[in-house]
Amino acid sequence: MFFNMKIDINCDVGEGVGNEELLMPYISSCNIACTAHAGTTKTIDTVIHLAKENNVKIGAHPSFPDKENFGRKIMDISTIELQKSVEWQINVLKERVKIQKSELNHIKFHGALYNLVAKNKEIAEVVIQSILKVSPATFLYVPFNSKIAEIAEKENIKIKYEAFADRNYNDDSTLVSRSLSNAVITDKSEVFNHVFRMLSLGELKTANGKLIKIKADTFCVHGDTENAIELVSYIYKSMQKKGITIA
């Protein structure tokens, strides 16, 4: 048993699925779309309210400004445009959170931008400058052993390493492309075992069966995964049985 152990389960929300009310009781932090890849001011306000009701930490989920592709394709925009967009998106969340007398806990990038800053030092430096300008005191959720984690630490930005509960990984610790059939894990037992291995052993089993080292402080289930409610509820209840609290 893992008595007194606590873990963070986060979820990407405000992206138009509308399942936040059902997700919130089983998670401990959420990443709210900032209207660039999805969401509106109305959805942001609704999700903030639900997060407050359920004592869930609130995060901004900036993306490439690309609703057409849901932020899942790299955009050909200048670094100046990208930096301004990220700053604007974070400020949108900060403003809406302030209105409801809450606070912004963290920032987590979305989709193609998340994957790009994990390996591209130049773009990682651009988004880090955005954070330093508008919200330097918030946590940043980042992949383990990534470029953005390295730069954030040098800039004294507080980080939490993130791993994905419902996604398969390649042998180089990158995520399996969503264009492939095995990118998303939907079997609840497989998802739990995936998380528990990372949590208890500090290792990740890739899609090819290779074991690699990983650090994770927070685990993500995507709000738009087809059975997201089933997955988060199963993780929550299964962790409880092992004496682990989602908090």
98-151 residue pLDDT tens: 999 999 999 999 999 999 999 999 999 999 999 999 999 999 999 999 999 999
- Is pLDDT above 70 for 201? yes
CATH code where residue 31 lies: 3.20.20.370
How much is the pLDDT for 112? 97
In this structure, which long-range contacts are made by residues 82-89, counting pairs with CB atoms below 8 Å and at least 24 apart in sequence?
82/123, 82/126, 82/127, 83/126, 83/127, 83/129, 83/130, 85/36, 86/62, 86/126, 86/127, 86/130, 86/131, 87/130, 87/133, 87/134, 89/34, 89/35, 89/36, 89/60, 89/62, 89/63
For the residues 211-235, what does the mean pLDDT come to? 97
In the chain, % helix, strand, coil (3-state, to 5) comes to 40, 20, 40
pLDDT in tens, 115-126: 999 999 999 999
How much is the pLDDT for 5? 87
DSSP 3-state assignment of 97? helix
Is residue 8 within 8 Å of 28, Cβ to Cβ?
yes
**In the block, residue with structure tokens 């946590």:** 139
Phi, psi of 116 (to 5 degrees): -70, -45
The CA R_g of the chain, rounded to the nearest whole Å, is: 17
Domain that holds residue 228: 5-246
pLDDT in tens, 177-197: 999 999 999 999 999 999 999
The structural domain count of the chain equals 1
DSSP bridge pairs for 59? 31, 106
DSSP element (H, E) containing 127? helix 121-134
Phi, psi of 107 (to 5 degrees): -130, 135
